[in-house]
Structure 1
Amino acid sequence: MKISFPRFPVHAKKWLILDLLGGVAGVLGGLGAVVLHLMIETINHFFFEILLPRISVHIGGFNLSIILLPVLGGLIVGPLITRLAPETKGHGIPEVMEAVALKGGHIRKRVAFLKVIVSAITIGSGGSAGREGPIAQTGSAIGSTLAQIFKLEPSDAKLLVVCGLSAGIAGAFNAPLGGALFGMEVLLRGIGLFNAMPVIIASVIGAAVASTFLGQKPAFNAEGLTSWSPPELVFYAILGLIFGIISVLWIKSFYAIEGVFERLKVSSTYKPALGGLATGFLIMLLPEHGIMGVGYEGVNKALAGELFLALLLILGILKMIATSCTVGSGGSGGVFAPSLYIGAMLGAAMGLLFDMAFPSIVDQPLTYALAGMAALFAGAAQAPINVIIMIPEMSNDFALIPPIMISSSTSFFVAWLFLRGSSIYTIKLHKRGIILRMGRPFILDLIKVEEVMTKKVITISPDMPASILELFFEEHHHTGYPVVEKGQLVGIVTIRDLQKLPHSIRNKVKIIEIASKDIIVAYPDETVHSVLDKMHEKNIGRLPVVDRNNPRRLLGIISKRDIIRAHEIAAKRPAE
């Protein structure tokens, strides 16, 4: 009997190469996590063990000099960020999402190096931020660099970016499955089976490399918190409902404080120092409870039952403010770890309240701290699947998956009702006109305005008589024209504006008198989907495209005809 073996598919060679490169990204991403961890420890030791004792000033039981440490860190990172790599400020993941969705996975090589430095200084000097944003951006830059070296197609380059990110996350938190799911759910918003394999390989290798140097100790000590009873699932569902609302408030407060710093008439170079000043003041009030840095020591205190109810609530709120000031002012660090801290504090507080009200039902009130971690991030990041796995991985306690599933999915749905698919990561992009939501992206989310806009724009002078519009409409067949004076956009005039004028006075009225001065505009880095939403909302057929830094500088115009062309371009691009 002759045995026939299946033929080796032609595309299998490509996937084997991607798996191999994913393994390389895993090694480098894991090493990046190790370097970041050691740098944070070293810088923190310098600031708090060497520098602080030499400058300490104690008044009323408080060490006032603690305030200066995050300020000093901000003064160091501010010039580095503004002069060398502005994309390294903030929490980093929105920039990676933009690179994957709109830039073919291209990230500047210097980002991998600089992100580690500025984040280590921000966190090590006392700034309230997490490691996941920095190592995610660093790992992504490593993946992008590999793709550039081997000249991969954009779709493959994006996949390698996700491999680097997932490896970094897995190494930073000793959570290989959680790292893979983070990349697939948060960054790619869904993935095919073949594409998942390089990501999984990268995550496993990244975690293995990091644990070789840093050990396999779980991030959280959840010993003794494995018990729960079936009736408690109702309480976990209630926790999820409440945390869905809290996650929305967390996002709103974060971007509200960021907006305050953006509006300050101060150089961006010095804003991280101002954020450090506010953070330093909060650290001075409660220096031993994890408000500064990543905050895991505070989480472990909550899990050990060392914090009373009022203090848990206070710490959760203060961490929100401190993180918003650190990251929102332009410092470098992530929001994942702070979200876990906030969720742990408020979740533990809810567990104590449930225990007070129903002592015969609640088995272990501090278990709600772990559920709170998962629920807050599931709502804020719109990524419930990731935390359902990642929190048990980080606490080495998989017995809590059922209650975490209930609280996370409930929080996710409640937050979705308010956010409609936006998240703490995508709102930063929304402010720049880049619309990315959970789930597979809408086809027009993948095309920027600058790719399809008409650059040769027919304009009209403001001093011309309105009657000239009749000739314009007849000759060019456009229904609207930008009004430009000395190279500056001053209005837009349409056929509707002309139709409002009687024929008898059209020669006497100037264009500027009938043109609309309140102009709805588009930006070249905005997505076509965002422009289409503006057109639909305002019932207009074309938008002038202007420079984001100079809204009077006309760069082009985009019409519904250009949007049809955007559909054609997107349809020709390779499937993700």
Structure 2
Amino acid sequence: MKPTRPNFDRFRHKLASIDALPQLTLLGLVCGIVTAVIIALFRELITILSSLFLHGLPEGAYQQLTWAHRIILPFIGSILLIGIALTIRSKFRPVGVVHLIERLDWHQGRLKTGNFLHQFFAGAIAIASGHSIGREGPAVHLGAAASSLLGQCMRLPNNSLRILVACGTASAISAAFNTPVAGVIFALEVLMVEYSVAGFLPVMLASVSAAALTQLMYGTEPAFAVPSIAVSLLDELPMVILIGFVMGIISTVYCRLIIFFNKRTKTFTVTTRLMLAAGITSLLAIPAPEIMGVGYGTITELLNGSHIPVLLITLLACKLLATSASVGMGVPGGLIGPTLFLGAVGGALTATLVSAIPGFTTGSTGFHVMVGMSAMLGAVLQAPLTALVTVVELTKNPSLLFPALLAIVVAALTSTLLLRQHSIFELILDCWGYDRASNPVHRALNRMGISSLVNKSYVELDRWQSAQDIQDKLREQPEWLLVSDEGRPKALMPVMALGPFFEQEKGLSLGEDDELIDLLGVPAVRYDVCSLNNRASVYEAWELMKGKQIDALYVTDLIRRQEIRTVGIVTRESLQRYYRV
């Protein structure tokens, strides 16, 4: 009697299919809780380090430091970052959202523990020491990596790992900013670049569970304290369009500066790049200390008052250079926070300059700040839904939907059509030598695990067999023979391809019962084979067949350490027939 499959093996096998919604939803809940805990630990680490670097001042209060301290602090952070970078292996240095996209698109979402630990500690040091970066990039990497590592420890198929990465990403955004809807949209619009029920529901549950746990620990207050704003939307339409146009231009300058620093310093050592980034940030922090760190306090001030144009221009120019240098030179932080900062300053500056023109009046400065944040984020990420929902959730101001939507459209059109600018993540990937162009068929193939398509109607035989042994094996009526030589499968033969040697009623007549037959020498159709792990996706199987120029694979599973079993076979014809590729 055949032994029954253990329950967890059944769970893994079900995840390989395209309709594993209940299993994925359960995993999404687990990922949301795990990610919320990880992000809470990350936030606490930043708070502890900030208290050390800021000598007891509140987190983000860099403007209260003397100019000498503002110069020294980024260098201290860079020295610590250099120490970490030189201690770890080079393969563990890449971190952030771009690294995550690269692992998702070319490595099936299999992230590594070394990069996770590097991001956790280096990201906290970089943020606390005043580098002009945000915390969302590290948060996204940490959430996605925690979920991916959880799936890898459970030996889940690669197609489900991709969903877990999306769950971790959404949970991280949700936990870091208390924006559960924006987390879902970011994961699907920026990372996965696809929408499906199997992807939506687990990601939504992960985001909600992370938000619930985070609100339990930190409360439900929005990230920015926004005053009551009453504006006439029709009167403000010209200003909204103007802000969108200006943000399209600023976003293009911002993206091109990042790529400029990235390309110009690509051949520099890690030490040179991080020290140069510290030097630029330190110098710019002398006239504009608000550019240091995440800068959410400055955004709140912009939302609540009027400002001097000269100060706003200084903030805008210094933040542009400081963040572009930090991100472009590889400081392990994010760029969404600085992007919101630039949008806030740009929106306030545009409104302030227009209001100075005789005969022109503008409404609330806080309204223009929020519109600028939305437009800037949408143009930089080329993700309009993410930008729209993020700012609305951050400010808890639903009346922003219509004007923000219009500003995002204008900014995106300005940057893409007028200035030929792409998403910042795509630009950085291009600098790394990756092209994110993806065939929709490939995405479909990635959503299913190969173990859901394996054919188990086969028998394994050594190359040299007696006629009687072959006949005994064929009593199981298999479709295929998997022929091994020197302990490894070498070829796959269809039983019916034995042709004239196969007789339906009399069995095999290959010779005398004690005569050994060479199955690799028998005139018959044979396919060369190689192995594929049962956690692979169907797309990986298809690419392996193309790369090796073979037409069949045997799928294996690791039972225990060093013990591997064959669980089935897959042919090119079966994949073509199923997907009509």
* TM-score > 0.5 by shorter chain: yes
The residue type equivalent to 2:398 in the other structure is F
Check 1:173–1:23 CA distance in 2 against 1; reply closer, same or farther (3 A cut): same
Aligned match for 1:277, one of 276, 279, 283: 279
* Structure 2 residue 39 is the aligned partner of structure 1 residue 37: no
What are the ranges of 5 or more consecutive residues in structure 1 without an aligned counterpart? 1-9, 448-560
Match of residue 144 from structure 1: 148
What are the ranges of 5 or more consecutive residues in structure 2 without an aligned counterpart? 1-13, 446-545, 552-571
Using the TM superposition, give the Cα deviation of residue 271 of structure 1 relative to its aligned residue in structure 2, in angstroms. Answer: 2.6
Check 1:88–1:421 CA distance in 2 against 1; reply closer, same or farther (3 A cut): farther
Match of residue 417 from structure 1: 417
Match of residue 391 from structure 1: 391
Structure 1: distance between partners of 2:428 and 2:316: 23
* Contact kept? 2:53, 2:73, Cα under 8 Å: yes
* Structure 2 residue 108 is the aligned partner of structure 1 residue 104: yes
Q: RMSD of aligned C-alpha atoms?
A: 3.4
Could you say what secondary structure the match of 2:331 adopts? coil
Structure 2: distance between partners of 1:391 and 1:50: 31
* Structure 2 residue 155 is the aligned partner of structure 1 residue 123: no
Using the TM superposition, give the Cα deviation of residue 153 of structure 1 relative to its aligned residue in structure 2, in angstroms. Answer: 2.2
Match of residue 351 from structure 1: 351
The residue type equivalent to 1:216 in the other structure is T
The residue type equivalent to 2:31 in the other structure is A
Could you say what secondary structure the match of 1:366 adopts? helix
Structure 2: distance between partners of 1:227 and 1:125: 39
Using the TM superposition, give the Cα deviation of residue 411 of structure 1 relative to its aligned residue in structure 2, in angstroms. Answer: 1.2
The CA deviation string for residues 37-91 of structure 1, in whole angstroms up to 9 with x for no partner, is 2211211110111699xxx9x9xx9532321111111111123134426566576
Structure 1: distance between partners of 2:549 and 2:373: 44
Using the TM superposition, give the Cα deviation of residue 169 of structure 1 relative to its aligned residue in structure 2, in angstroms. Answer: 0.8
Q: Map 1:33-432 to 2 at 5 A.
A: 33-49=39-55, 63-84=67-88, 86=90, 92-264=96-268, 267-287=269-289, 289=290, 291-305=291-305, 307-357=307-357, 362-417=362-417, 422-432=422-432
Aligned match for 1:18, one of 1, 4, 24: 24
Could you say what secondary structure the match of 2:221 adopts? coil
Deviates more, 1:89-98 or 1:299-308: 89-98
Using the TM superposition, give the Cα deviation of residue 157 of structure 1 relative to its aligned residue in structure 2, in angstroms. Answer: 0.7
Using the TM superposition, give the Cα deviation of residue 227 of structure 1 relative to its aligned residue in structure 2, in angstroms. Answer: 2.8
The residue type equivalent to 2:384 in the other structure is P
Check 1:101–1:305 CA distance in 2 against 1; reply closer, same or farther (3 A cut): same
The CA deviation string for residues 168-207 of structure 1, in whole angstroms up to 9 with x for no partner, is 1111011000111111111011221221111111111112
* Contact kept? 1:112, 1:139, Cα under 8 Å: no
Check 1:293–1:275 CA distance in 2 against 1; reply closer, same or farther (3 A cut): same
Structure 1: distance between partners of 2:547 and 2:441: 14
Check 1:331–1:410 CA distance in 2 against 1; reply closer, same or farther (3 A cut): same
Using the TM superposition, give the Cα deviation of residue 354 of structure 1 relative to its aligned residue in structure 2, in angstroms. Answer: 3.2
Using the TM superposition, give the Cα deviation of residue 432 of structure 1 relative to its aligned residue in structure 2, in angstroms. Answer: 2.7
Match of residue 555 from structure 1: none
Structure 2: distance between partners of 1:159 and 1:33: 19
Could you say what secondary structure the match of 2:134 adopts? coil
Structure 1: distance between partners of 2:386 and 2:55: 36
The CA deviation string for residues 410-468 of structure 1, in whole angstroms up to 9 with x for no partner, is 2122222267683111211112331126xx65668999xxxxxxxxxxxxxxxxxxxxx
* Contact kept? 1:100, 1:106, Cα under 8 Å: yes
Using the TM superposition, give the Cα deviation of residue 331 of structure 1 relative to its aligned residue in structure 2, in angstroms. Answer: 1.5
**TM-score with structure 1 length normalisation?**
0.70
Using the TM superposition, give the Cα deviation of residue 388 of structure 1 relative to its aligned residue in structure 2, in angstroms. Answer: 0.8
Check 1:414–1:97 CA distance in 2 against 1; reply closer, same or farther (3 A cut): same
Using the TM superposition, give the Cα deviation of residue 234 of structure 1 relative to its aligned residue in structure 2, in angstroms. Answer: 2.8
Could you say what secondary structure the match of 2:228 adopts? coil
Using the TM superposition, give the Cα deviation of residue 258 of structure 1 relative to its aligned residue in structure 2, in angstroms. Answer: 2.6
Match of residue 498 from structure 1: none
Could you say what secondary structure the match of 2:265 adopts? helix
* Contact kept? 2:263, 2:431, Cα under 8 Å: no
Check 1:352–1:84 CA distance in 2 against 1; reply closer, same or farther (3 A cut): same
* Contact kept? 1:104, 1:158, Cα under 8 Å: yes
Deviates more, 1:229-238 or 1:14-23: 229-238
Deviates more, 1:383-392 or 1:269-278: 269-278
| Largest Rg, 1 or 2 | 2
Using the TM superposition, give the Cα deviation of residue 238 of structure 1 relative to its aligned residue in structure 2, in angstroms. Answer: 2.4
Could you say what secondary structure the match of 1:104 adopts? coil
Structure 2: distance between partners of 1:563 and 1:362: 65
Matched residues, number: 442
Structure 2: distance between partners of 1:276 and 1:184: 34
* Contact kept? 2:95, 2:115, Cα under 8 Å: no
Structure 2: distance between partners of 1:172 and 1:359: 43
Using the TM superposition, give the Cα deviation of residue 31 of structure 1 relative to its aligned residue in structure 2, in angstroms. Answer: 1.6
